[in-house]
Amino acid sequence: MKKDFGVKPYLFPMPTYMIGTYNEDDTVDVMMMAWGGICAEDMVALNLEANHKTVANIRARGAFTLAVPGADTLAASDFLGIASANRMADKFERTGLHAVKSSRVDAPVIEEYPVTLECVVEKLEEEPYGLRVLGRIQNVLADEKVLDEKGRIDAGKLNAFAFDQMQNGYYAVGEKIGQAWHSGAGLMERD
C-alpha cells in the first residue's frame, strides 16, 4: 500500500550545488542550491527565487560558477545555504573557505570544492514559480585528488552529498553500484 502525500517536491536525490558570484564590491558570495542541474551538453539550469543576493549578482555580472561540495565542507556549505548575503555582508568570510578569480568568467572559484563549472549567463527566464537561470558551461575545473589514473573525474572520490527534501537531511554519495548503459544490457536479449 502507498501513502498519498499530495503535491510535494519529493525526488531523491536532490543535488547540492554551490553558486559562486561576486558582489558589487568584488567580495565573494556563495549560496547552496538544490533546484537545478544539467539541462544540455553545455548548459545548466538553476531555479532560484529572485530576491537572493546571488541572483542580483548573476544579473549584474552575467556569470557564475557552479560547484559540487564535498562532505568535508558540509558545515560551511550548509551555512552558505542558511545565511543571506542580503543581511550578512561577511557571509563567505565566516566559512573559512578560500576563493580565487576564475580565468574564464567573472566569478569566483572556491578552492575547497572538488569540481567547478565556470558558466556565463545564456538566458534569464522569469516564470510564475521563480527565476530560471540558463548558464553555458565555459570550462570544468577539477582538483587532482578527484581524478582517476586516466585523468578523468572519479565520482567516487568527490565525497559529494545529496539533499533529502522529505526530511531535510544530507546523505553521502559515492559508492559505484553499476555501469551505465551496461548493467541492464542483458535485458535487451530475447530468448
Task: Summarize pLDDT for 40-76 with one digit per residue, the tens.
Answer: 999 999 999 989 999 999 999 999 999 999 999 999 9
Tens digits of per-residue pLDDT, 115-126?
999 999 999 999
Q: Report the mean per-residue pLDDT for the chain.
A: 94
Checking if the pLDDT of 191 tops 70, the result is no
C-alpha separations of 28 from 38, 85, 115, 139 in Å: 24, 10, 18, 20
Q: What is the pLDDT of residue 186?
A: 86
pLDDT score of 174: 84
Contact 52, 44 (CB under 8 A): no
17-188 is classed CATH 2.30.110.10 = yes
- In this structure, is the dihedral angle defined by the CA atoms of residues 56, 106, 67 and 46, taken in order, positive or negative? positive
Give the chain's radius of gyration (CA, Å). 18
CA 167 to the chain's CA centroid: 20
Its pTM stands at: 0.94
- Binning pLDDT at 50, 70 and 90, where does residue 188 land? confident
Q: Which residues pair with 131 in a beta bridge?
A: 48, 126
The predicted pLDDT at position 52 comes to 93
86-119 exposure pattern, b = at least 16 Cβ within 10 A, e = fewer: eeeeebbeebebebeebebbbbbbbebbbbbbbb
Backbone angles phi, psi at 91, to 5 degrees: -50, -55
User: Would you state the pLDDT for residue 130?
Assistant: 86
| pLDDT single digits (tens) 74-119 | 999 999 999 999 999 899 999 999 999 999 999 999 999 999 999 9
